[in-house]
């Protein structure tokens, strides 16, 4: 089920009513769990079995990991959990990719190997819930938090529908304690939640789908070479589309959870106002960045093992982060480019300390703004690899962007105007809001203005009539 569908509206109203009826807390939790399974099964019912398998294995293995004192047995249990979780992820997400690469490799070595192409369907959100369960078992192994007391609470932690399929990626201490005591949204939380849900849907449906998806899809799907204007318009459209799509989903998820009285972690913080790349990764898909930092970068040694290892760890983390997004080498290159930017930035910052000074200053300076624009420019280069299906296509687009080839006009004037209006406004908005939160800003305006802005968001949402396209990050 997706948030921007009629089905979800009906589903959410029923859940909201059930959650506010005078049932016991346990019954309410069972309701939420069943609702979460329905939410997930509404895509592809058989895949619910994978979710159950992952939940049950990690619940029992997690407990055993926490209580086991024998180091060898403890390691064995961790390996079982890692194989279970990562094995499923590898099979469903990377099975075809691995086979294709293996085939290419053996054919390159002279063999004549042409296996049938497997038809593997990717279960929605598998990358997200795998990371959620993985962090639990690793925490149990390291005894960083206590085991979840009941299977019901653990199942709800893994499956809670607002975060299940596209995050935010939650850690056990962030969510499990919220299931232990009865929760019901306060009136203020309900309003905040509904406001965030409206904003998230507006970002997804109006801006991402109705305004930006078509120019991005047309440009990245074009057959021949395009002009520099078309190439830049398409790339900027995608940079806006992916932000509004994914940040819109996260905003909806946080809003929906808040309507039920639960608090999910923030996932985006005006990333296009980032001053530099370290800052960008503190603002873009925050819960994934933190996950990669805590469960990959730091275990690899982080910055504790000298400068060279720091650079290697940084690059490895970004390459794996790239691959997490999709089974294609273009995603690896996307991660690699970010790793390279982080290298250069770290090198300069280690020598001068100026970037840290710019980022840590809460004042918005001209230098900061210029560096933020430069960061935005370089991030757009990375989006080319993220969105293009092949390196040939990515190369073609980059050549067009930098005037290295001539092409045919592709996008309509209206499409160009849409991008030319939305992207600068988005950038300006990110810069103005850089150090604040959207709800804080909403509370500062008069109530009547908030009411009108809220109504405009909803009216544009209804008038756009884009009701059912999937979120881009579901495929990850």
Partner 1 sequence: MPTANLSKAALLMLFVVVVSLISWEYFWRHKGFGIAYNDDEGLWAKNRADVYQPLDKATVFIGSSRIKFDLDIPTWETTTGENVVQLALHGSCPRGALVDLGNDENFKGKLIIDITEGLYFGGWEDQRIKNRVKFYNDATPAERVSAKVGFGLESQFVFIDKELFSMSALLADLRIADRKGMRPDGIFPKKFSYTNFRRQETMTDEFAKDTAMQRQVTNLWSMWGAHSKDHGITGDTLQKIFTEAQTAVSKIKARGGKVIFVRTPSSGVYWENEPISHPRAEYYDKLVSVTNCTGIHFMDYPELKNFTCPEWSHLTHADAILYTKGLIKILEGQNWFAKRN
Q: Is 2 in the site for partner 1 (CB under 8 A)?
A: yes
The strand pairing partners of 226, in sequence order, are 408
Q: Is 460 in the site for partner 1 (CB under 8 A)?
A: yes
What is the rounded (10 degree) CA torsion for 28, 31, 36, 39? -130
Catalytic residue among 163, 325, 338, 430: 325
> Quick check: 450 and 441 in contact, CB under 8 A?
no
**Of how many residues is the chain composed?**
476
Q: Is 409 in the site for partner 1 (CB under 8 A)?
A: yes
Chosen residue from 1, 56, 120, 320 binding partner 1 by CB under 8 A: 1
Binding mask 39-58 for partner 1 (x = CB under 8 A): --xxxxx-------------
The strand pairing partners of 408, in sequence order, are 226
Give burial (CB, 10 Å; 0-12/13-18/19+) of 6: exposed
Contact stretch for partner 1 (CB under 8 A) within 87-95, 149-157, 163-171, 460-468? 460-468
Contact stretch for partner 1 (CB under 8 A) within 73-81, 102-110, 329-337, 450-458? 450-458
Which residue, 24, 461, 19, 462, is CA-closest to 244?
461
As given in the structure block, the two tokens for residue 126 are: 């598998």
Q: How many residues bind partner 1 (CB under 8 A)?
A: 50
CB of 355 to partner 1, least distance (A): 36
Q: Is 210 in the site for partner 1 (CB under 8 A)?
A: yes
Chosen residue from 217, 467, 474, 475 binding partner 1 by CB under 8 A: 467
Confirm whether 362 is a catalytic residue.
no
> Quick check: 324 and 386 in contact, CB under 8 A?
no
Q: Is 420 in the site for partner 1 (CB under 8 A)?
A: no
Contact stretch for partner 1 (CB under 8 A) within 277-285, 305-313, 327-335, 406-414? 406-414
Alpha carbons 398 and 387: distance in angstroms, whole number: 12
b/e 9-41 (16+ beta carbons within 10 angstroms → b)? eebbeebbeebeeeeeeeebbebbbebbbbbbe
Q: Is 6 in the site for partner 1 (CB under 8 A)?
A: yes
Q: Is 443 in the site for partner 1 (CB under 8 A)?
A: yes
Cis peptide before 166 (omega within 30 of 0): no
Q: How far is CA 289 from CA 13, 143, 334, 380, in A?
A: 33, 22, 15, 19
Closer CB to partner 1, 208 or 323, in the complex: 208
CB of 203 to partner 1, least distance (A): 15
Alpha-carbon radius of gyration of the chain: 23
Q: Is 308 in the site for partner 1 (CB under 8 A)?
A: no
Q: Is 363 in the site for partner 1 (CB under 8 A)?
A: no
Chosen residue from 295, 311, 429, 454 binding partner 1 by CB under 8 A: 454
Q: Is 90 in the site for partner 1 (CB under 8 A)?
A: no
- List of residues contacting partner 1 (CB under 8 A): 1-2, 5-10, 41-45, 186-188, 191-192, 194, 206, 210, 214, 408-410, 412-414, 417-418, 442-444, 447-448, 450-452, 454-455, 458-460, 462-468
Cite the active site residues. 325
């Amino acid at each position: 089920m997706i948030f921007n569908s009629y089905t979800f509206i009906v589903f959410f109203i029923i859940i909201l009513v059930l959650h506010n009826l005078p049932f016991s807390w346990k019954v309410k939790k069972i309701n939420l769990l069943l609702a979460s399974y329905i939410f997930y099964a509404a895509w592809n019912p058989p895949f619910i079995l994978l979710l159950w398998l992952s939940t049950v294995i990690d619940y029992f293995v997690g407990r055993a990991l926490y209580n086991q004192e024998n180091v060898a047995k403890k390691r064995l249990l961790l390996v079982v959990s890692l194989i279970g979780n990562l094995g499923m992820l590898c099979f469903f997400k990377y099975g075809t990719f691995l086979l294709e690469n293996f085939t290419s490799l053996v054919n390159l070595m002279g063999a004549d190997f042409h296996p049938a192409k497997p038809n593997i369907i990717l279960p929605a959100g598998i990358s997200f819930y795998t990371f959620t369960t993985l962090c639990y078992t690793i925490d149990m192994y390291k005894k960083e938090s206590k085991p979840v007391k009941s299977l019901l609470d653990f199942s709800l932690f893994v499956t809670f529908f607002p975060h299940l399929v596209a995050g935010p990626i939650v850690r056990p201490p962030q969510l499990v304690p919220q299931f232990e005591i009865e929760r019901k949204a306060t009136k203020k939380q309900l309003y905040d939640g509904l406001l965030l849900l409206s904003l998230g849907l507006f970002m997804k449906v109006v801006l991402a789908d109705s305004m930006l998806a078509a120019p991005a899809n047309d440009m990245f799907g074009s057959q021949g070479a395009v002009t520099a204007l078309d190439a830049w318009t398409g790339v900027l459209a995608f940079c806006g589309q992916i932000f509004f799509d994914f940040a819109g989903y996260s905003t909806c998820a946080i809003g929906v959870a808040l309507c039920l009285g639960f608090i999910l972690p923030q996932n985006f913080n005006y990333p296009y106002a980032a001053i530099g790349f370290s800052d960008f990764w503190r603002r873009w898909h925050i819960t994934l960045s933190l996950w990669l930092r805590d469960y990959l970068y730091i275990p690899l040694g982080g910055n504790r093992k000298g400068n060279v290892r720091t650079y290697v760890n940084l690059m490895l983390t970004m390459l794996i982060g790239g691959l997490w997004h999709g089974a294609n080498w273009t995603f690896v290159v996307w991660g690699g480019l970010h790793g390279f930017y982080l290298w250069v930035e770290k090198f300069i910052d280690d020598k001068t300390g100026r970037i840290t000074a710019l980022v840590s200053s809460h004042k918005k300076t001209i230098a900061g703004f210029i560096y933020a624009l430069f960061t935005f420019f370089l991030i757009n280069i990375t989006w080319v690899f993220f969105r293009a299906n092949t390196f040939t296509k990515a190369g073609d687009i980059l050549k067009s962007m930098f005037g290295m080839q001539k092409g045919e006009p592709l996008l309509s004037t209206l499409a160009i105007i849409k991008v030319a209006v939305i992207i600068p406004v988005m950038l300006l908005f990110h810069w103005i809001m850089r150090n604040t939160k959207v709800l804080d800003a909403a509370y500062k305006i008069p109530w009547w203005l908030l009411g009108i802005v809220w109504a405009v968001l909803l009216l544009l949402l209804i008038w756009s009539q884009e009701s059912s396209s999937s979120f881009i990050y579901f495929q990850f």
